[in-house]
Amino acid sequence: MKIALFPGSFDPVTKAHVDILKRSVSLFDKVVIGVGLNSNKPAFLDPETRKKMLEAVFAYEPKVEVSLYEGLTVEFCKTIGALYMIRGIRTVSDFEYEKAIAQMNHALVPEIESIFIVSKPGYSSISSTIVRDILRNNGDISQFIPKEALEFL
């Protein structure tokens, strides 16, 4: 069984995340969306809300499951039996950052491959950070967030 992990904070999930997952799900038997709990980064939404939001967004997709995890992402991959890690790339700087992480992950656990999926041009400017800023300032984020996620915000 080919299992992939799509890790992130998903704080909140955006249409860009949805696009990457939709484009990758056909490549694997199962995709686990891993909501990473990063103690260095203060969260906007609590982990359970993010998990429920992702489950609502991907309720139609039987090959997707959502899990919370802490610690090294490659260790979580081993726990769930994932040999692939999906990463979305929006910009050149994303690529440089993700390449460095992929190389470190490969040094730690060589059997786990990082799969980079380049975002569609219309999604390259959407990030959770920008969406959180709009939310904090009472702006309309509906064009950046899947409709199933809006009730959680």
- Could you read off the pLDDT of 82-131 as tens digits, one per residue? 999 999 999 899 899 999 999 999 999 999 999 999 999 888 888 898 99
pLDDT confidence of residue 40:
75
Query: 3-state class of 52 per DSSP?
Result: helix
9 close to 47: Cβ distance less than 8 angstroms: no
Token output for 148 = 């199933």
Residues taking part in catalysis: 17, 41, 90, 128
Query: 3-state class of 119 per DSSP?
Result: coil
pTM above 0.85, yes or no: yes
**Distance from C-alpha of 43 to C-alpha of 12, rounded to nearest angstrom:** 9
Q: Does the pLDDT at position 52 exceed 90?
A: yes
pLDDT confidence of residue 39:
67
Decide which of 90 and 80 is more confident: 80
Domains held by the chain: number: 1
pLDDT confidence of residue 17:
96
**Distance from C-alpha of 68 to C-alpha of 48, rounded to nearest angstrom:** 8
pLDDT confidence of residue 118:
95
**Distance from C-alpha of 41 to C-alpha of 80, rounded to nearest angstrom:** 24
Q: Domain holding 75: CATH number?
A: 3.40.50.620
Strand partners, 35: 8, 68
Domain ranges, residue 31: 3-150
pLDDT confidence of residue 82:
98
Q: Is 146 left (phi over 0), alpha (psi -120 to 50) or beta?
A: beta
pLDDT confidence of residue 144:
95
